[in-house]
Amino acid sequence: MNQTSLDDIDRRIINGLQGGFTLTEHPYRDAGEQLGLSEAELITRLERLTASRALSRFGPMYNAERLGGAVTLCAIAVPEQRYDDVADLVNAHREVAHNYARNHELNMWFVLACERSEDIAATIADIESETGLKVYDFPKQHEFFIGLRVEA
């Protein structure tokens, strides 16, 4: 799996922006000021962190179901030597909200957030076709908000 070296400024950005990103007329300038950075430096670092995959994405989290869509949790048993290639294929789908590794037979887990419920099966079928691997679908039965933060 890809490893990216983070410096103290990267950690400050990741830790500081997890709690929210204020929408103002100049959000990157205002967030940069709170972090002791210029607007340009914040944008450049966020671009580098996402390009290097230190961050899988930077953007808002929408509740797909409240917008009329559907969400499900999926898992795949990926041979370790194919892990990075399969992760790239999975992450190329705009429906993949996030993807993470687990120390388990099903070692790749990801969330699909689709515009329509019928898109879930189609996206899973596409991923299975592209990877040649079985995707296990674990539809949500109950939702719990835990306010997860990951300190870098």
CATH architecture of 70-139: 2-Layer Sandwich (3.30)
What pLDDT is recorded for position 92?
Answer: 94
Reported as a single tens digit per residue, the pLDDT across 24-34 is: 999 999 999 99
Q: Starting at the edge strand that comes first in sequence, how are the strands of the sheet with 135-139 ordered?
A: 96-101, 108-114, 70-76, 135-139
Distance CA 103, CA 66 (A): 32
Say if CB 90 and CB 56 are below 8 A apart. Answer: no
Sequence-separated (6 or more) residues with CB below 8 Å from residue 56? 50, 91, 98, 99
Distance CA 110, CA 83 (A): 13
What pLDDT is recorded for position 86?
Answer: 97
What pLDDT is recorded for position 61?
Answer: 67
Low-confidence ranges of the chain (pLDDT < 70): 1-4, 61-68, 144-149, 152
Q: In the chain, which segments carry CATH 3.30.70.3460?
A: 70-139
Distance CA 127, CA 52 (A): 23
